[in-house]
Amino acid sequence: MLSLSNVDSFYGRSQALHDMTVAAPEGAILGILGRNGVGKTTLLRTILGLTDRSEGQITLGDKPIARLATHERARAGIAYVPQGRMIIPDFSIRENILMGGFAAGGTRRIPDIVPELFPYLIENLDRPGGVLSGGQQQQLAIARALACKPRVLLMDEPTEGIQPNIVAQIEDIIIRLNSEFGLTILLVEQNVHFVRRAAKAFAMIEHGTAVESGAIETLTDEMVNKHMAI
């Protein structure tokens, strides 16, 4: 579904990804693992064309997208739930969700899936996004991404900074988006237990490249200790 082959990515003159080669199976979750600062977020930003420059091949389905502008990649079916959520605090819940529809083009509307997944948001559409809890803001960020009508969802640390009683709900929603609604998901996540439960495949990132990858059953404790232990 989504693959990168020999991709280098840059912020100014600084190279952040080196010969990155990863592939997300269609209709599956690919877990992206690694220590902080090794290039996981840059990988997602490169897929969307949000770094200063990149080289190499990025393919969505059978379509090369590496030369497309960010909005063209979004309209091709890629949506992003960024680290820190980045909702607009003065916008209402409704406005934040509908903003995601700009990326898809056409009529902007709240996706039919949102009331089922996030009933609180639908019951409070006129509340400002800035008054929501961290977990509710994460729900809003996911709903905003769904308004893009994506085929592929990029999720960067979706359980980070969320109250523990909400984390399990967010995890279950991510699994449902994949298993029930068929979204291909690239999931950057530090929680190895959750990645093992949710993902079909993994890629371990270090120094801006994939040093280990494969079926999730091949992710060993030795790999985790070697590449994620502090």
Q: Quote the strand ranges of 104-180, DSSP E.
A: 152-156
**pTM recorded for the entire structure:** 0.94
Of the candidates 132, 212, 128, 141, the residue with the CA atom closest to the CA atom of residue 174: 141
Predicted pLDDT at 107? 67
**How many angstroms separate the Cα of 84 from the Cα of each of 30, 32, 87, 192, 219?**
20, 17, 9, 20, 27
* Domain range summary for the chain, segments of one domain joined by +: 2-88+153-228
| Of the options 3.40.50.300, 3.50.50.60, 3.40.50.10320, 3.40.50.800, the CATH number for the domain spanning 2-88+153-228 | 3.40.50.300
Q: Determine the Cα–Cα distance for residues 43 and 64; give it in Å rounded to an integer.
A: 17
User: What are the backbone angles phi and psi of residue 22, rounded to the nearest 5°?
Assistant: -145, 160
Predicted pLDDT at 106? 64
Predicted pLDDT at 108? 79
pLDDT in tens, the chain (230 residues): 899 999 999 999 999 999 999 999 999 999 999 999 999 999 999 999 999 999 999 999 989 999 999 999 999 999 999 998 899 999 999 999 998 888 777 667 898 999 999 999 999 999 999 999 999 999 999 999 999 989 999 999 999 888 888 899 999 999 999 999 999 999 999 999 999 999 999 999 999 999 999 999 999 999 999 999 87
